[in-house]
Amino acid sequence: MPPLFRWIIALGLAGLATFWLLTRPDRLADDALAGLTGDAARGEQVFLAGGCASCHAAPDAKDEARLVLAGGQRFPSPFGTFLAPNISPDPTHGIGTWSAMDLANAMLRGVSPEGAHYYPAFPYTSYVHVTAQDVTDLHAYLATLPATDTPSLPHEISFPFTIRRGLGLWKHLYATEDWMLAGDLTPEQQRGRYLVEGPGHCGECHTPRDRFGGLQRDVWLTGAPTPDGKGKIPGISPSQLDWSESDIAYYLETGFTPDFDAAGGHMASVVINTGQLPASDRAAIAAYLKTLPAPEG
């Protein structure tokens, strides 16, 4: 074999090995949940703050049916349509066999129990801020919900997005534990930051994305096109929303705006969740939003 060919093969193998190394799933340390015990009552509050039912309940589910996490809701994007999976306690079609560590790796690292990358339609880039205790409590609560044997439906995406391994590179670019709002915050503002940037994952809808689907952090919460490209998700930063803190808290409780309008679309489902949070949490969210600086430029 000519030397040039040997060099080409060697470089190709080196490149493949580098790609494989950089894209490997990054799991939590084995002792990440050591000493933690889940509390289902606290887990219910995490469930509400995270809006789990808003995505994982069956389409158009209402009232108690929202607690049957059968999946099936469709989330269109420029990369294809993602379908929410069954996360009920069913051992075959849901996550009934998952340990708390399995849930923690899914939420905090975007890695399945089988070691595959999850697509970021599952908002682990926000859930990375969720505490280990909250994940453990959520796991305890999810186990109390009704099981359903509804099979999860496959995502409707095409090559090259079917290559999950490449998401390892995407995570290097966009999966960061840095807070969007840093600096000297009051305890209330810190709680609001945790809820908004963490379990509430508000930025996943209210922040524009770049061509690769990553959040544009320099225009945090300033509004974004709807995933189907047919509308606009409003901005909720002070530069876009002039509501008072009490207006925001009241909206999160009732769905009614200061102009006597009502929440619609997906936000109506979100308000069902936030309306069940403690009043102190809704006030904390409002305090955080009013603290955000204007985007540069």
Q: Are residues 140 and 232 in the same domain?
A: no
pLDDT band at 4; cut points 50, 70, 90:
low
Give residue 13's pLDDT.
53
Q: Are residues 150 and 222 in the same domain?
A: no
pLDDT in tens, 53-111: 999 999 888 888 899 999 999 998 888 899 999 999 999 999 999 999 999 999 999 99
pLDDT band at 226; cut points 50, 70, 90:
confident
Q: Are residues 65 and 169 in the same domain?
A: yes
Q: Does any domain span residue 25?
A: no
Any idea which of 6-10, 64-68, 81-85, 248-252 has the lowest mean pLDDT?
Answer: 6-10
The CATH number of the domain holding residue 93 is: 1.10.760.10
Neighbours of 50 (CB within 10 A): 23
Q: Are residues 66 and 172 in the same domain?
A: yes
Q: Are residues 45 and 128 in the same domain?
A: yes
Give residue 27's pLDDT.
87
The domain boundary residue, chosen from 142, 177, 212? 177
Q: Are residues 187 and 165 in the same domain?
A: no
Q: Does any domain span residue 29?
A: no
Q: Are 252 and 274 a contacting pair, CB within 8 Å?
A: yes
Q: Are residues 136 and 210 in the same domain?
A: no
Q: Does any domain span residue 30?
A: no
The domain boundary residue, chosen from 149, 177, 205? 177
Q: Which amino acid is at 25?
A: P
Q: Are residues 131 and 209 in the same domain?
A: no
The domain boundary residue, chosen from 161, 177, 193? 177
pLDDT in tens, 111-153: 999 999 999 999 999 999 999 999 999 999 999 999 999 999 9
Give residue 144's pLDDT.
96
**What is the Cα–Cα distance from 217 to 210, expressed in whole angstroms?**
10
pLDDT in tens, 11-57: 555 555 565 555 678 889 889 999 999 999 999 999 999 999 999 99
Q: Does any domain span residue 243?
A: yes
Q: Are 167 and 120 a contacting pair, CB within 8 Å?
A: yes
pLDDT in tens, 258-278: 888 888 788 888 999 999 999
Rounded to two decimals, the pTM is 0.90
Helix/strand/coil (H, E, C) string of the chain? CCHHHHHHHHHHHHHHHHHHHHCCCCCCCCCCCCCCCCCHHHHHHHHHHHCHHHHHCCCCCCHHHHHCCCCCCEEEECCEEEECCCCCCCCCCCCCCCCHHHHHHHHHHCECCCCCECCCCCCHHHHCCCCHHHHHHHHHHHCCCCCCCCCCCCCEECCCCCCHHHHHHHHHHHCCCCCCCCCCCCHHHHHHHHHHHCCCCCHHHHCCECCCCCECHHHCCCCEECCCCCCEECCCCCCCCCCCHHHHHHHHHHCECCCCCECCHHHHHHHHHHCCCCHHHHHHHHHHHHHCCCCCC
Q: Which domain holds residue 230?
A: 183-297
To the nearest 10 degrees (0 to 180), the angle between helices 3-22 and 167-174 is 60
Q: Are residues 218 and 296 in the same domain?
A: yes
Neighbours of 184 (CB within 10 A): 5
Query: If you average pLDDT over residues 279-291, what whole number do you get?
Result: 96
Domain count, the chain: 2
Q: Are residues 172 and 216 in the same domain?
A: no
Give residue 90's pLDDT.
96
Q: Does any domain span residue 8?
A: no
Q: Does any domain span residue 50?
A: yes
**What is the Cα–Cα distance from 169 to 146, expressed in whole angstroms?**
37
Q: Are residues 289 and 229 in the same domain?
A: yes
Query: If you average pLDDT over residues 196-209, what whole number do you get?
Result: 94
Query: If you average pLDDT over residues 171-179, what whole number do you get?
Result: 89
Q: Are 71 and 283 a contacting pair, CB within 8 Å?
A: no
Q: Are residues 149 and 269 in the same domain?
A: no
Q: Does any domain span residue 43?
A: yes
Q: Does any domain span residue 21?
A: no
